Amino acid sequence: MTLTTRRFELSVTLLGKPTCPPLLLLHGFLGEASDWLGIAQQLASRYFVIIPDIPGHGATRLLPQPSTPHSTEPYSLESVAGTILELLAALKQDRTYLCGYSMGGRLALYLALRHPTRFQAACILSSTAGLRTDEERKVRCLHDEEIARKLETMPLPEFLEFWYSQALFTSFRQHPQFAQATMRRREMRTQEAAASLRGMGTGAQTPLWDILSTNRVPITFVAGERDAKFVALAQEMQVNTPFSSLAIIPNAGHVLHYEAGSSVQVLLEKIFT
């Protein structure tokens, strides 16, 4: 379905019956709703699964913004979180289960911490609470700007080859669905993906570390055991977050919903009951 919000024409995939408990799934940077379909189709008998194309991705489109046509503010974490809340309100879902991966995990963590009454429980996959210091964020913003410019100027197949050559994706590159998943990325609108990176990249994000202690939503932080950086981040977030737990998935790297889809599905069914 397509839903018009204040700022976006939001593309949303819905599976299952609206009378079932609602489950919101949020994809990562360069992803789209279809990344979740393997898991979502298995969960649709138990949950009403809601999967938006996050602004900047998939078939979601920015509505005309005549006053500030080139601003990345609509793509900020805070703005996108507002768009997600508009979606849930339009679907008449007051309290939702929530799961996000990587960029979607940062968005999910923001939603759970800032709008705790809207979510029953959350699962954060391969993600972070942001960068703590101004200097770290400044350096990351420069890095993200470089990536955004590559997105805007390089042939898309060449950019995707560059992006997935990162060590973070080593085990994903070996997955049988890697070629199919990356082929779908060739249809993205690079200008909007670049705006998303500038607006809600890790460098642009206000860190959430200082408010983890205020958490009131049951949260499970998850990482793949081969993803050492995000294992450490998940452990650190869990230690600093009340009402939280930690799950490390064996034999998996960063892209958990592909590399360990069955394990993620079982975990979601276990914690969202």
Q: What's the mean pLDDT in 226-244?
A: 98
pLDDT digit string (tens) for 2-35?
A: 999 999 999 999 999 999 999 999 999 999 999 9
Mean pLDDT of the chain: 96
Query: Total domain count for the chain?
Result: 1
- % the chain with pLDDT above 70: 98
| Amino acid at residue number 51 | I
Q: What's the mean pLDDT in 45-62?
A: 97
Are the beta carbons of 80 and 215 closer than 8 angstroms? no
Nearest-angstrom CA–CA distance, 165 and 157 = 12
Q: Is the pLDDT of residue 134 over 90?
A: yes
State the CATH number of the domain containing residue 53: 3.40.50.1820
What's residue 147's pLDDT?
Answer: 97
Does residue 38 form part of some domain?
A: yes
Residues 87-95: contacts with CB under 8 Å, at least 24 apart: 87/3, 87/5, 87/10, 87/12, 87/50, 87/52, 88/22, 88/24, 88/50, 88/118, 90/3, 90/5, 91/18, 91/22, 91/50, 93/22, 93/48, 93/50, 94/118, 95/22, 95/119, 95/120
Does residue 194 form part of some domain?
A: no
Q: Is the pLDDT of residue 101 over 90?
A: yes
Dihedral (Cα; 151, 153, 156, 158), 10-degree rounding:
-100
Q: Which of 237, 236, 266 is nearest to 249 (CA)?
A: 266
> pTM here?
0.97
What's residue 71's pLDDT?
Answer: 81
Does residue 48 form part of some domain?
A: yes
Q: Which of 234, 228, 226 is nearest to 252 (CA)?
A: 226
Beta bridge pairs of residue 187:
none
Does residue 29 form part of some domain?
A: yes
Does residue 126 form part of some domain?
A: yes
Distances (CA, A) of 263 to 39, 108, 143, 251: 10, 20, 33, 11
Q: Is the pLDDT of residue 68 over 90?
A: no
What's residue 70's pLDDT?
Answer: 64
Q: Is the pLDDT of residue 69 over 90?
A: no
Q: What's the mean pLDDT in 180-195?
A: 93
What's residue 65's pLDDT?
Answer: 75
What's residue 155's pLDDT?
Answer: 96
Q: What's the mean pLDDT in 61-65?
A: 89
Nearest-angstrom CA–CA distance, 197 and 195 = 5
Does residue 158 form part of some domain?
A: no
Does residue 101 form part of some domain?
A: yes
Q: Is the pLDDT of residue 67 over 70?
A: no
What's residue 252's pLDDT?
Answer: 97
Does residue 153 form part of some domain?
A: no
Handedness of CA 165, 231, 47, 93 (dihedral sign): negative
Domain residues for the domain of 124 are 2-130+206-271
